[in-house]
Amino acid sequence: MTASLRFVPRILSGIQPSGSVHLGNYLGALRNWVSEQHEADCYYSIVDLHAITAEHDPRTLRDTTKELATVLFAIGIDPEVSCLFVQSHVPEHAQLGWIMESTVTFGELSRMTQFKDKGKGEEKVRASLFTYPALMAADILLYRADKVPVGDDQRQHIELARNAATRFNNAYGQVFTIPEPMIPKVGARVMDLQNPSKKMSKSSSTDSGLIYLSEDSTSIAKKIKRAVTDTENRLVYEPDNPDKAGVTNLLEIYSAFTSIHPQEVADSFTNYGGLKTELAELVIEHLTAINLRIKEISEDPNELLRLLQIGAAKAREVASSTLYDAKNAIGFLAP
């Protein structure tokens, strides 16, 4: 009898411990991390090296790293199935990061829109914010990942990782797998509730436009009720109409939670108030369950650290083997 061989894809993704997890992270990326666990060989990283590309406070970084690990286990990352690790526990990332900085060009990095948005041409901006996409390429290529689940804002970075892998392979030999982005159809870009022309972001200056995964019900209801819409009170789904950005965002969040097409959601409500009330109920129902798990996991911090150590050991097995191949291909003398 011949065993049927099924190709199991490798997945790698990352999230920065730079603030609390919000609905954009969840609907754009993290939900997929959970659902992919039984379909693929998954490696998920809390990318703390990326979190020091902007000004930061060391104590806060340690706390948000633990908080993020807790949230990831709470939403359903299963340590028995997937590998969840902290990036700085796996030193191979920084080493391959340098090799990737020597693979991509200044011109390519200069074209990254995220740098242009966050760096704003300021003199004080950290050099690592500029080179960060090279480190992100290393994060992905170390695991020879086939797919990378991310929100739409990361599309350009994945393209850079693909170009870097192709260039390296052509120059020095086949070492890396060329990764594909995995971007959800709905929820790929959740917008700020107060400023719907901007994506919901941890680094937003005010948090009234963000819904955090650990937020309480009263505050969620209040934020959704106050979400900016428009003065027309015409409930239609017009994703390309910038004047309708607020209501489009609410319809798309509703759709992401229910799998009902945003157009159909729009047809089923007569006014913004009704849509907001039901959306708030949906979000609260979903997040209450996650919050209960967060509380349970927070009761045993040592267990959390133990699970992260196991994750790092598993990640290093794969990462060290790829790094060895890359160093050898590029011409470094083996010690």
Residues at the interface with ligand ATP (CB under 6 A): 15-16, 18, 24-25, 28-29, 150-151, 153-154, 188-190, 199-203
Identify the residue among 11, 14, 229, 322 touching ligand LTN (CB under 6 A). 14
Q: CB 29 → ligand ATP: shortest distance, Å?
A: 3
CA distance linking residue 237 with residue 242, whole number of Å: 11
Strand order in the sheet with 83-86: 83-86, 41-46, 10-15, 147-149, 180-182
Query: What are φ and ψ of residue 211, in 5° steps?
Result: -115, 120
Residue with tokens 């939900």: 31
In 3D space, the residue among 92, 94, 100 whose CA is nearest the CA of residue 169 turns out to be 100
Q: CB 184 → ligand ATP: shortest distance, Å?
A: 8
Identify the residue among 83, 90, 140, 142 touching ligand LTN (CB under 6 A). 140
Q: Contact 184/27 with Cβ under 8 angstroms? A: yes
CA distance linking residue 157 with residue 256, whole number of Å: 24
Q: CB 147 → ligand LTN: shortest distance, Å?
A: 10
Residue nearest to ligand ATP (CB): 28
**Does residue 65 touch ligand LTN according to CB under 6 A?**
no
Nearer Cβ to ligand ATP (193/280): 193
- What tokens does 175 get? 């070492």
Identify the residue among 46, 136, 191, 220 touching ligand LTN (CB under 6 A). 136
User: For 332, which DSSP code?
Assistant: P
Residue nearest to ligand LTN (CB): 14
Identify the residue among 22, 66, 157, 202 touching ligand LTN (CB under 6 A). 157
CA distance linking residue 134 with residue 137, whole number of Å: 5
In 3D space, the residue among 218, 276, 269 whose CA is nearest the CA of residue 250 turns out to be 276
CA distance linking residue 70 with residue 126, whole number of Å: 29
Q: Is 223 a catalytic residue?
A: no
Q: Is 225 a catalytic residue?
A: no
Quick one: how far is CA 262 from the chain centroid?
Answer: 23
Q: CB 149 → ligand LTN: shortest distance, Å?
A: 8
Q: Looking at 12-20, 62-70, 72-80, 184-192, which segment touches ligand LTN (CB under 6 A)?
A: 12-20
Nearer Cβ to ligand ATP (102/203): 203
CB contact set of 223 (below 8 Å; sequence gap of 6+): 193, 208, 209, 210, 211, 215
Q: Which does 194 bind (CB under 5 to 8 A by kind): ligand ATP, ligand LTN, none?
A: none
Q: Is 199 a catalytic residue?
A: yes
Of 66, 147, 199, 223, catalytic: 199
- What tokens does 33 get? 């991390």
Nearer Cβ to ligand LTN (37/154): 154
The H helix count followed by the E strand count for the chain is 14, 5
Of 147, 202, 223, 276, catalytic: 202
Catalytic residues: 118, 199, 202
Which residues bind to ligand LTN, rule: CB under 6 A? 12-14, 16, 47, 50, 136, 139-140, 148, 150, 154, 157
